Amino acid sequence: MGVQPVIVSAGFSEHASKRSDVNMAELMNEAIEDALNKCNCTIDDIDCIINGNMAAFEGANIPELWMTDHIGAKNKPFLRVTTGGTTGGSVAIAAYYAVASGLYDTVLATAFEQQSCGSTTVGLSSVALGEVSIYLQLGYDYEKLRRNMGAGAAIGVGAYQAVNYMSRSHCTEEDLARVIVQNRHNAAKNWWTHLKMPNLTIEQVLDTPYISYPLRFGMVTPASDGSCAMIYTTEENAKKFTDTPVYVNGVASVSNETAIVTSEAGGVGQLDPCEQLGAKISAKLAYEQAGISFPEKEIDYAEVYSPFPNQELMWLERLGLFEENTAHIQYREGITATDGDLPVNCSGGVNSTNAIGASALERVAEAALQIMGKAGNQSPKEIHTAIGHGWGGALNLITLSVLADQPRRKYKGGI
């Protein structure tokens, strides 16, 4: 095993639907300044920079070349990672490997998205247009395909998962709304989040119209502008920078089969969209590296990627934190609240803030800050072990980082 990577700091920019006062480069700079201010580190200490965002969503080609000066990348090794919705998680894993390999001492992981500048439809068409043209070529009616694809884009994948999850676990729409209310209330206590709704009630959420059954307008994620930055370094360097280092003990990145349509218009092998074998395998791999044998007891905090409320329930089960089909009952009892036994998404989650490329990195960043005790909406519980999770729509790519306040232990045995 290589060098043990350590997180010393994490920073955010302000998130809003339209950050009209800054451009992409300035937006990225905000988060990096915040990250550098939180620890005793300057831009000269950084050896390598990793940057990522969702390709084509911001309407600029090769944006990392534009922002070179704004993120202090002049004369330094620079790597761009983009893997769709999980870009942030992949950036975190790339930074982990850059440090673990021993090539670089201090690595800056950055991710951003300014969706108000570009068109999400253009970005998604680069993903879906190939499949759509094949279906049309084979005689699939255009009107029908438009409707099927309309429900089958990112929200559709969430809707299919929700339908199967609800039919499996018998949870109701009220349970889904409860997740939303908790997240939006948490977001109101955080300075950098987008949808701050301190007075939201379950009835208000259930009063909004359907977008894709069973997901309503009040339940879906917004489109945000924002960025996130994190500093990874070695154990020795961390002592110079901060008193509260966070150890990255395990990472995993696992992809499952495509969600609804596959290549060459073939059938999809994944019959139940909420089964999520990829999440189970990624959990097994990452927990094995981190020496976690009993995730439901050992993990104190979870930051999961949940643009839609059913996903938050689903991921907590698939990542081994709750028994299958019981997550919605735990939400009713308030176990996942900020002051509960297992706080989940104290930052408000992707549900309240979704700068797509940065979202998965924000999950890792928030989990690290909760362990450091520097988070905006800090949980009163003492947090030793936390997970930061990411999910990408079309291919069900899962990224998982396991963080702790101690270096990794020896593996004891199966989950």
Partner 1 sequence: MVKLEYIKKQYPRTRRVHGNWYLSSYQYKFNVKRINQCLEHLRKGELVGLKCRSCNTVSFPPRLICPKCLKMPDQWVHLRETATVATFSGTYAKESGDTEPRPYPVVAIRQDGADTSWLANLPEGYDFFKVYVGMPLKIKWAEDKKGDFSDIEYYEPIEDPSIEMNKKEETEN
| Residue ranges binding partner 1 (CB under 8 A) | 14, 16, 18-23, 59, 122, 125, 129-130, 133-135, 138-141, 143-144, 146-148, 150-152, 156, 159-160, 163-164, 167, 184, 188, 195-200, 204-205, 207-213, 218, 257, 260-273
Cα 248–Cα 94–Cα 233 angle in degrees, nearest 5 = 50
CB of 151 to partner 1, least distance (A): 4
Shorter beta-carbon distance to partner 1: residue 123 or 295: 123
Q: Counting beta carbons within 10 angstroms of the beta carbon of residue 9, is it exposed (0 to 12), middle (13 to 18) or buried (19 or more)?
A: buried
CB of 245 to partner 1, least distance (A): 33
Beta carbons within 8 Å of 392's beta carbon, 6+ residues apart: 83, 84, 85, 86, 398
Shorter beta-carbon distance to partner 1: residue 103 or 134: 134
Shorter beta-carbon distance to partner 1: residue 220 or 248: 220
Q: How far apart are CA 231 and CA 369, in angstroms?
A: 12
CB of 295 to partner 1, least distance (A): 27
CB of 106 to partner 1, least distance (A): 32
Q: How far apart are CA 252 and CA 318, in angstroms?
A: 14
| Pairing of β 78-80 and β 5-12 | unpaired
Q: How far apart are CA 200 and CA 181, in angstroms?
A: 6
Three-class secondary structure of residue 340 per DSSP: coil
CB of 177 to partner 1, least distance (A): 12
CA atoms within 13 A on the CB side of 80: 15
Shorter beta-carbon distance to partner 1: residue 213 or 294: 213
Shorter beta-carbon distance to partner 1: residue 75 or 199: 199
Q: How far apart are CA 42 and CA 329, in angstroms?
A: 46
CB of 104 to partner 1, least distance (A): 35
CB of 110 to partner 1, least distance (A): 21
CB of 327 to partner 1, least distance (A): 19
Tell me 8's DSSP state.
E
Q: How far apart are CA 239 and CA 44, in angstroms?
A: 17
Shorter beta-carbon distance to partner 1: residue 4 or 255: 255
Q: How far apart are CA 45 and CA 284, in angstroms?
A: 35
Shorter beta-carbon distance to partner 1: residue 41 or 205: 205
Shorter beta-carbon distance to partner 1: residue 104 or 160: 160
Terminal alpha carbon distance of the chain: 22
